[in-house]
Amino acid sequence: MKFESQVVHAGDRKRERSKAIPSTTPIHLATTYFYETAETLDRIFGHEEEGPSYSRYDNPTNSALEELTTALENGHGSLATCGGMTALHLAFQAALLDRPHSILSSSSIYGATVKLLDQVMAPFEVNVRYVDMCDLAAVEKAIAGEKPGCVFLESISNPILRVADIPQIAAMTKAAGAALVVDGTFAGPMLMRPLDMGANMVVHSATKYLAGHGDVLGGIIVSDEAHHENVRMLSRIAGGTMSPFESYLTMRGIKTLALRYERQCQNARKLAECLASHPSVERVNYCADPNHPDAATIKKIFAPDIYGAILSFEIKNADKAAVLTFMNRLKMIVPGTSLGDVHTLLLYPVMASHRDVAPKMRERMGIRENLVRVSVGIEAVEDIYADLDAALRHS
């Protein structure tokens, strides 16, 4: 073999010489795969046999992550995508492929999801309507009136932390012949499994609790049997799959998910209790609050004794300038746009997650100018509270 050929082929594609199995899934960066015979490759392209052929269709590292997330959510199959919003977009498309092009969405959702619905889905003749998913009578009326192909809600709403009765809504959705898509990012599979409650697809931003360390951008769709092939088919055509390196990092992060999330939930509960009596805090939103407007639903659908690791609170008499001053005074807490990291993050919805949502719609969502959201990390809760307390007292 000449040099020009050696630099292309030498060292690659070595045949397996042993039965050794790596203890963690390696990062498979190859884009193209081949087999001992062309007939095998033909069967794989025809979906008669499992195996990778091209990385947009399948990748061994991604497949390992997908197997893991399918198990965590008790689903039929998963798809790892390059971002949470990509996952949500694909889930909507998969839901509407053979249904009326109409989405009935919760009125209390992430700001970027509002933009996805209004600026991406609606211009392609998808009818989008919003309803308070915590008002079951309103949901039933809206489903009957709109006859949607897809119903969408968040497991815990961002950032007001409302919790809808997923089993009841799933029953209504199924009776209407629609698909129920749930964004499970805030809760995660340790807190609830929407597919077990009747949802058809659950979507996660893998960037958040699954990966958990602020170093991954990715998304996950876990589907039931009826929708999984639609999801895979759309991804094979349109792409948007997660890179193998992000899949590797997400799998590594998930190994400590139970430990991280338990500590984060414990910290969040203690922090919410402390903030509730703080002289500079007007109101705290947290799912463990016995006076939470959805307390009965929370008791019904949450796993025992965990209530999530996110809270939000309103600073007394604060306008935007005062909130920004408060954020500038934080020493340990990261005033950044994300959630689910091992470190505590504080986000100002008016500035970040809901910046592009119209002020009147923000008001209807309950997002006031003095509201901040805290994604509680694994630090000592005393240090988290001390940082917030010092910033509040001087703001």
By C-alpha distance, which of 301, 267, 33, 4 is closest to 169? 301
**Contact assessment for residue 180 and residue 170, using Cβ atoms and an 8 Å cutoff:** yes
Cα-based distances in Å from 55 to 33, 80, 230: 8, 12, 18
Q: Whole-angstrom Cα distance, residue 75 to residue 54?
A: 24
- Side-chain half-sphere CA neighbours of 80 within 13 A: 32
Task: State how beta strands 102-106 and 150-154 pair.
Answer: parallel
As beta bridge partners, residue 172 has none
Judged on CB neighbours under 10 Å (0-12, 13-18, 19+), 332 is middle
DSSP 78-147: EEEESSHHHHHHHHHHHHHTTS-SEEEEESS--HHHHHIIIIIIGGGT-EEEEE-TT-HHHHHHHHHHH-
**Contact assessment for residue 105 and residue 116, using Cβ atoms and an 8 Å cutoff:** no
Q: Whole-angstrom Cα distance, residue 184 to residue 283?
A: 25
DSSP 256-322: THHHHHHHHHHHHHHHHHHHHT-TTEEEEE-TT-TT-TTHHHHHHHSPTT---SEEEEEETT--HHH
Instruction: List the catalytic residues.
Output: 56, 110, 183, 208
**Is the dihedral angle over the CA atoms 393, 374, 365, 337 positive or is it negative?**
positive
* Non-local CB neighbours of 372 within 8 Å, separated by 6+ positions: 312, 313, 314, 315, 323, 326, 327, 346, 347, 348, 349
Q: Which two tokens stand for residue 18?
A: 């042993």
Cα-based distances in Å from 379 to 31, 277, 330, 343: 40, 21, 15, 7
